[in-house]
Amino acid sequence: MLRKESFIIFIAVILSMILCSCGGKNILHNEEGSQRADYSISKVSYSEKNVVINYPQLYNLSDINRQNSINRLIKNEALKVLNYYNSDIDSLTLEISYDIHWKGNNLLSIQYWGTGFNEGAAHPNNLLYTTNINMVSPSKVILADVINIDERFIKKFRSGEFKLFSPQLHDKAFIISSKDMYSLEELIGLFKNADSLDYVGTEKQSDIFSFFTKDALCISIPVSHAAGDHAELGFEYKSISDIIKGENNIWQDFKKEDMISTGTITSSYIKLKNRSDTAKSYLCSKYN
C-alpha cells in the first residue's frame, strides 16, 4: 500500500511540473515588471457606433497629477488609430484590444491589436500599434529615444539578430527581404520615424512600432496583407547592448546591480533564458 501511495504522489508531482512548464512566458510577451510597479491598471473602452477601442488607465499612483497626465497621454495615443480611417465612422468597423508587455516604475509598454474594416473595402486590416510611456517625465517614448538607430542597428536587423513572434507564419529571410527595396539611409529613416500614428498619410509614415518585455526590445514591422499585415520580432537586450542609450531613465527598470554602465547595458546582469518561440497571431477570421 505504501509503495502504491508513493507512486501516486510521484505521478502528481510530475504532472504539476508539466503544467507549470506549459505556463511559461516567452521573451516576447511578459509582464514581470509588474512586481516592481507602484500603481495599478484598469481597462477602459471608447465606444462609438461599430468602433470599440480598449485601452488601459492608471490608478493608485501616489502623484495624482502625474497619473492624470499619463492617463490623458495613453487615451490620446490609443485613439490615434482612427487616423488610418478618414471615412465617416458610420462605415467603419473597428475593434482594438491591448496587452501590457512591461509595467514598471520608469516604463509602461502597451501593445494594441485588432482589426479594422471599412465598408466596401476588399478585406479587413490586421492592426498593431504601441505606446511606450516614460512614467517619470511623463512622456511618450519612441524607438529613437532608447537606441541609436544607425548602421550598427541596421546591420543587426539585416543579419537576423532577432527572434520571431510567429516562426510558423514568417521566417527571418522573409522579414529581412521585405525591406530589401530600401537603402541604408531610407531604412534608418523608417526606424527613426517609428512609434507614431501622427505620420499616417504623410511621407514619414513607417508603420513600425516598438515595445518592451523583460528580456527583449520588440519591434513590429509592416508586411503584406497575405502575410498578416504585420510581423513582430525581438532583439534580446544583450544583442543590442552596444547601441542602447543607457542615459534614458526607462532602462532603470531593467537594472540589476550595475547593469547599466557607461551608457550601455552590461548583458551579464540580464538573465536571458532559452525559451522556444511560441506563436501569437492576431489574424482575424471574423470577416472570412
Q: Which amino acid is at 110?
A: I
Instruction: Write out pLDDT tens, residues 130-185.
Output: 999 999 999 999 999 999 999 999 999 999 999 998 776 788 999 999 999 999 99
- CA dist 239 to 155, 166, 177, Å? 12, 20, 21
Instruction: Write out pLDDT tens, residues 81-92.
Output: 999 998 678 999
The residue among 214, 128, 124, 110 whose CA lies nearest residue 166 is: 128
Q: Distance between CA atoms of 57 and 41, rounded to whole angstroms?
A: 6
For residues 107 and 254, the answer to whether their CB atoms sit within 8 Å is no
Binned at pLDDT 50, 70 and 90, residue 76 comes out as very high
Q: Distance between CA atoms of 218 and 194, rounded to whole angstroms?
A: 12
Mean pLDDT of 114-131: 94
Q: Distance between CA atoms of 288 and 284, rounded to whole angstroms?
A: 8
List, as one string, the DSSP characters of 168-210: TT--HHHHHHTTTTS-HHHHHHHHHT-S-STTTTSTT----EE
Residue with cell 513582430: 232
User: What average pLDDT does the structure give for the chain?
Assistant: 81
- Residue 101 pLDDT: 97
- Residue 170 pLDDT: 81
| Cβ burial, residue 100 (10 Å; 0-12/13-18/19+) | middle
Longest C-alpha distance within the chain, in Å?
Answer: 76
Instruction: Write out pLDDT tens, residues 12-59.
Output: 434 333 333 333 334 444 444 444 689 999 999 999 999 999 999 999
